[in-house]
Chain A
């Protein structure tokens, strides 16, 4: 068994969803955020709120360092945190996405966006994130990260997705859930539609 995936990791730097055995009653979540602002507070609340064992792993970008490969558990959900206030945030997430096995896009990836209501954010950037999430058929969560209440809500929603992604919801799978939660492009309300 072990031999298997060590060899594996040398060949591929891709992060794969099913390369390791799951842990009992455990879910592992990976938070990817280039700014490293929201990761830590989010991780704290995640561990606090969860009713099952949650391992939170943090990364600035993907690929993950090869050294930790062996000790790293199977990652059930990869969350990309994108701050709309910075263009870099989006670019970094886009670059990291290339290092994910396509199996992740069947319900084990989600995007979390902050500052969506900020006037200083160019609308094109939000559109770009929307298109990204829609093309990868993954959920897009908007977070009010400035308030404690918003942080708790964001955590709860991540846990809901994580539970499904880690197979902790009886009679449901990650794919099933993500068919319900995946983002699809909204309709442009600004266009006059029925004249």
Chain B
């Protein structure tokens, strides 16, 4: 290692003595290297090759290296002052270039901090505005609350109820339209769909429409919320019951197969 460091900075202008000293050092190192190399080649590796043993190899080698490091003494540089001066100079030049990097890094950091500061100030300002806006809003709500009289609240609620009623009616209209158009009354449907009609289902006179089934289910929920189940009788066309169950509109009673209720849509 030393050999390389010194070798790296041995330009031509060194005096004979200095150069001689360096060369001597290099020679010594190289002789040492050759000696070690021969030892390595001669000694049989006792490492096994199986990958399972890799970690064992590594452990042995690392322990050996640790021992080596612990017993290593630092080595002195060459004694020649010329060499030392040169080494010192190289060190200083290296330091200079490193410090230049530190300088430009610090400048960049400073600029970044300035930017951040601007951002943070903007952020703070925004937050202050938000706070005051929220305060104003609270204030406004308080004012409104004071202005509200019992009557106006009542009127408001009534209006809302009216609206909801109208809306409900339109929904009902819509549902009715759809049911009527696409899910016909079993009797009518049977005549309308003669081709697909199953021969075994005889049209029964007292079958009710899907709309009526739904109506029963809904009414039952509203009338007796504690017992929302409706008993299936022979007026319910089985395919419609099946459909309601399959699409999760109705749910069967857990114990009684002949009872269904509307799914709790809430």
- Footprint of B on A, CB under 8 Å? 1, 4-5, 8, 18-22, 24-25, 101-103, 105-106, 135-137, 167-168, 170-171, 173, 175-176, 179
Q: How far is the CA of A1 from the CA of B33 in the complex (A)?
A: 13
Closest-CB distance, B160 to chain A (whole angstroms): 45
Contact for B65 among A4, A25, A105, A176, CB less than 8 A: A176
Residue of B with least CB distance to A106: B61
Q: How far is the CA of A170 from the CA of B72 in the complex (A)?
A: 14
Closest-CB distance, B120 to chain A (whole angstroms): 32
**Interface: B48 (CB within 8 A):** yes
Given contacts A21-B33, A25-B4, A25-B8, contact A136 B54 (CB under 8 A): yes
Within 8 A of A (CB), among B30-87: 33-34, 37-38, 40-41, 45, 47-49, 51, 53-55, 57-58, 61-62, 65
Residue of B with least CB distance to A98: B49
Contact A135 B51 (CB under 8 A): yes
Q: How far is the CA of A82 from the CA of B221 in the complex (A)?
A: 69
Given contacts A21-B33, A25-B8, contact A101 B45 (CB under 8 A): yes
Contact A19 B41 (CB under 8 A): yes
Q: How far is the CA of A103 from the CA of B44 in the complex (A)?
A: 12
Closest-CB distance, A95 to chain B (whole angstroms): 14
Contact B58 A106 (CB under 8 A): yes
Closest 10 A-B residue pairs measured CB to CB?
A18-B40, A102-B49, A102-B47, A170-B1, A135-B51, A106-B61, A21-B37, A105-B54, A175-B61, A4-B41
Residue of A with least CB distance to B36: A18
Contacts of A25 in B (CB 8 A): 4, 7-8
Chain A binding surface SS class: loop
Q: How far is the CA of A106 from the CA of B57 in the complex (A)?
A: 8
Contact A24 B4 (CB under 8 A): yes
Contacts of B5 in A (CB 8 A): 170
Closest-CB distance, B30 to chain A (whole angstroms): 9
Interface centre among B8, B53, B58 (most CB of A within 10 A): B58
Q: How far is the CA of A102 from the CA of B37 in the complex (A)?
A: 18
Given contacts A21-B33, A25-B8, A175-B61, contact A102 B41 (CB under 8 A): no
Contacts of A136 in B (CB 8 A): 51, 54
Contacts of A5 in B (CB 8 A): 41
Closest-CB distance, A21 to chain B (whole angstroms): 5
Contacts of B54 in A (CB 8 A): 102, 105, 135-137
Task: Give per-residue flags for B1-25: 1 if the beta carbon is below 8 A from chain A beta carbons, else 0.
Answer: 1011101100000000000000000
Q: How far is the CA of A82 from the CA of B1 in the complex (A)?
A: 33
Contacts of B4 in A (CB 8 A): 24-25, 168
Q: How far is the CA of A5 from the CA of B23 in the complex (A)?
A: 28
Closest-CB distance, A10 to chain B (whole angstroms): 14
Closest-CB distance, B10 to chain A (whole angstroms): 12
Contact A18 B48 (CB under 8 A): no
Contact B41 A173 (CB under 8 A): no
Contacts of A135 in B (CB 8 A): 51, 54
Q: How far is the CA of A179 from the CA of B53 in the complex (A)?
A: 16
Closest-CB distance, B6 to chain A (whole angstroms): 11
Contact A173 B65 (CB under 8 A): yes
Closest-CB distance, B246 to chain A (whole angstroms): 35
